[in-house]
Structure formats: C-alpha cells, structure tokens
Amino acid sequence: MYVAVKGGEAAIANAHRLLADRRRGDRAVPAITLEQIVEQLSLSVDRVMAEGSLYDGELAALAIKQARGDVIEAIFILRAYRTTLPRFGYARPVDTGAMLVERRISATYKDLPGGQLLGPTFDYTHRLLDPALAETGEPAPPATRPAGDEAMPRVSGILAGEGLIEEDGALPQDHRTGDLTREPLDFPMQRDLRLQALARGDEGFLLALGYSTQRGYARSHPFAGEIRIGLVEVELDVPELGFAVTLGRIRVTECQMVNQFQGSAKAPPQFTRGYGLVFGQSERKAMAMALCDRALRARELGEDVTAPAQDEEFVVSHCDNVQATGFVEHLKLPHYVDFQAELDLVRRMRREVEEARAAGAADREAAE
C-alpha cells in the first residue's frame, strides 16, 4: 500500500525563521555589510565567484552572507541566480599578456623580463596567528616604487624561443568553442570544455587530484612556469555598433604549469603544459587546475591512463561541487517508502536464508 503523507509546513517555516536568527547571530554585534565582505573577505568572494561561475563581487558577498559563510552553499545560490539572467553574448577572449599585473612569479626563471613581483601573497608569512588583527588598529599603507614600463611577456613565450616547449593549445580551425552550460556533457571531450569544467570545479577536489599527480598517480614533473594575477579587459562585440566595446576589467589568476615529458609515439620529448585560469586571486585553484589539465591530456599525448586524475569522465563528472552536494545531500530527504521496501526485502532474504539453513540442518540430521 502506498500512503502519501504531507506535513511539516509550520516546521519548515519556523526552521527558516530560526536560520535567519542564527545567521544574524548576537544582535548586540553589528551586522556585517556586503562592503565589508567584499573588502575584507575578498578571497572567499573570489572563490564563490570562480566556482559559482559568475563574476560579480557584490552578489557573491550577498551569497556568502546568506549562506552564513558556507562557501559551497553560497556557490549554489550564485549558480541558481545566474540562471535567471539572459545571455548578452560571449566576450572576446581575455588577453592575459596585457594584464595589469598585481603579482607575477616564475619558479623556472630567476631573471625574467618584468621581474618577480610578489604582490599581496601569503607566501613567506610564518603562518603564526597575528594577535594584532584582533585589535582595531590600521595597517601601514603599502610601500611604492616607480613601476617603469618594462613589458611582462608570458614565460611560455620565452621557452618557446628554443622550440623545447609545446605551443599554446590549438584546436581545429572549424572547432566551435564548447559551453557546458548550454549543451549536455559528452565524453570524450575537447580540452576547451574540460578547462571550463575545471575552472568552475571544486578547489578542494582539484587540489587533491593535483596533489595525487605529484605523488605518483600519473607521471608528472611539474614546474610553476608562471603564475600571474591581475586585471584584464573584457571586450564584447556589439552588433548594433559594429565594433568591440570594453565592458570593464576583471581580476584573474593564470597559471602556466610546465611539465617535463619524455616523449611518446605521438609527441617528441619536450616540455608540455597544463593551464589554469580562474576568477579572482585564486592561486591554489589555478595551480591545481593546471595540474589536472595536464594530467587529463594523457590520451592526447599518448600516455597510459592509469590514475584518477587522468580519467576525464571521473574528474569532470565529479569536480562540480553544486552537482556533488545536490546528490549527496538529497540522501537526507525523506526516503520512507524506498526504505520500507528495502526493509521488507531484507526481512524476506533473512527468512529465506534461515529457512534454508534449517532445512539443511534437518537434512544433515536425517542423514546421520
């Protein structure tokens, strides 16, 4: 018999009301503003924008506030919001070579044009809790030094001069840039779609996979060829004007991972590359993305696919934390009927096993 049940409306309404109260916290403490979140929790905002796949700091801050600081919940909220907006078009690809650089380092070349610029980094901090931050004092203003106008070419271009590194990833001339927000996923996929999935993928998942490639789960000998963070222009072709219009600038993190490659039937020994490009200041994510991108090129480069990070379907199908949280968290929804059916089934199987055992014992007794 199937019995439909309903109920819980009052409980749900009160739970939401309680949530709003707990979100507010102690009302004697001033409520946090979106400006405060944007300005002072900016790397949380960056992560929510990157994995929410929507560049809008104020909306990401609102999502973080609404989610009580739970970034995956905030990412979910931002993804839901973006589906309500119409698409105006695709911008022209951003030119990271023309970036207004805020940080730029290379682990492969000490002296490179434009220099090593540390920028606002956690590197070289001692990771000791700073009690001064618990007080209200203001930090010193940043130091300055005349910047000059030295160009900052991408490191990949420097290596390319010797022909020892593969070129920037090309796809066939007639390839139409894929968009996984528009077409269902289909495996195997091209590198452009994989990069899109990785760019919005969960930082923790990609970090763990990237780490696994370093520990031997996929042959990988990576160097951080270059990491650069800064502002790039966004331009959109506007048909009614007949030219491209600048819409503004966004902050991105780009990582060029350089991997030694012994060569295969498909490609000579050389340096190959993995690429990462992420919204905001998101260095760990961009590096993990680049490691995963390189590992996922195993088939293309004629390498054996032996490790999870090289398995395109495994990585791409599981890197999205909105999909993952939806499927994991749905388990807490009522499954009363399913479970009753399983309970009946297990009881019946148990009874059958016991009956068979009893029958077997009776047979043995009879035989003795």
Interface residues for other proteins in 178-197 (CB under 8 A)?
A: 178-182, 191-193, 195-196
Burial group, residue 252, by CB count within 10 angstroms (0-12, 13-18, 19+) = buried
Residue 245 binds other proteins (CB under 8 A): yes
Radius of gyration of the chain (CA): 27
Question: Which region among 10-18, 94-102, 308-316, 348-356 touches other proteins (by CB under 8 A)?
Answer: 94-102
Q: Tell me which of 92, 299, 348, 351 binds other proteins, using CB under 8 A.
A: 92
Nearer CB in complex with other proteins: 209/229: 229
Contact region with other proteins (CB under 8 A), list: 6-14, 126-134, 277-285, 315-323: 277-285
Cis before 86? omega within 30: no
The nearer residue to other proteins, 41 or 54, going by C-beta atoms, is 54
Rule CB under 8 A: say whether 74 interacts with other proteins.
no
Is residue 219 near other proteins by the rule CB under 8 A? no
Closer of 53 and 321 to other proteins (Cβ): 53
Indicate the residue among 8 and 120 with the shorter CB distance to other proteins: 120
Taking each helix axis as running N to C, give the angle between helix 191-199 and helix 283-295, from 0 to 180 degrees, rounded to the nearest 10. Answer: 150
Cβ neighbours of residue 14 closer than 8 Å, sequence gap 6 or more: none
Helix axes 71-82, 57-66, angle to 10 degrees: 130
Contacts of residue 15, Cβ cutoff 8 Å, sequence gap at least 6: none
Cβ neighbours, 10 Å, residue 325? 15
Q: Is 140 exposed, middle or buried (0-12, 13-18, 19+ CB in 10 A)?
A: exposed
Distance, in Å, from the CA atom of 151 to the CA atom of 104, rounded to the nearest integer, reads 12
Decide: is 56 part of the binding site for other proteins (CB under 8 A): yes
Q: Is 54 in the site for other proteins (CB under 8 A)?
A: yes
Asked if 91 interacts with other proteins (CB under 8 A), we say: yes
User: Would you say 192 or 267 has its CB closer to other proteins?
Assistant: 192
Candidates 9, 135, 162, 167; binder of other proteins (CB under 8 A) is 167
Is residue 243 classed as helix, strand or coil in its secondary structure?
strand
Give the shortest CB-364-to-other proteins separation in angstroms: 56
Asked if residue 234 binds other proteins (CB under 8 A), the reply is yes
State how far the Cα of 37 lies from the Cα of 60, in Å rounded to an integer.
9
Contact flag: residue 275 with other proteins (CB under 8 A)? yes
Q: Which CB, 30 or 139, lies closer to other proteins?
A: 139
Spatial distance between the Cα atoms of 76 and 67, rounded to a whole number of angstroms? 10
CB 47 within 8 A of CB 71: yes
User: Among 34, 42, 55, 207, which residue sits at the site for other proteins (rule: CB under 8 A)?
Assistant: 55
Which residues, numbered 134-163, are part of the site for other proteins (CB under 8 A)? 142-148, 154, 156
DSSP designation for 175: P
Q: Structure tokens of 339?
A: 């479970």
x/- letters, 13..52, toward other proteins (CB under 8 A): ------------------------------------xx--
Contact between 250 and other proteins by CB under 8 A: the answer reads: yes
- Do residues 76 and 83 touch, judged by C-beta distance below 8 A? no
Segment interacting with other proteins (CB under 8 A) among 2-10, 34-42, 62-70, 78-86? 78-86
Q: Taking the CA atoms of 289, 295, 301 and 305 in sequence, report the sign of the dihedral they define.
A: negative
Site for other proteins in 308-347 (CB under 8 A): none
Q: What is the dihedral of CA 271, 277, 278, 284, to 10 degrees?
A: 10
Site for other proteins contains 112 (CB under 8 A): no
Q: Which is nearer to other proteins, 192 or 325 (by Cβ)?
A: 192
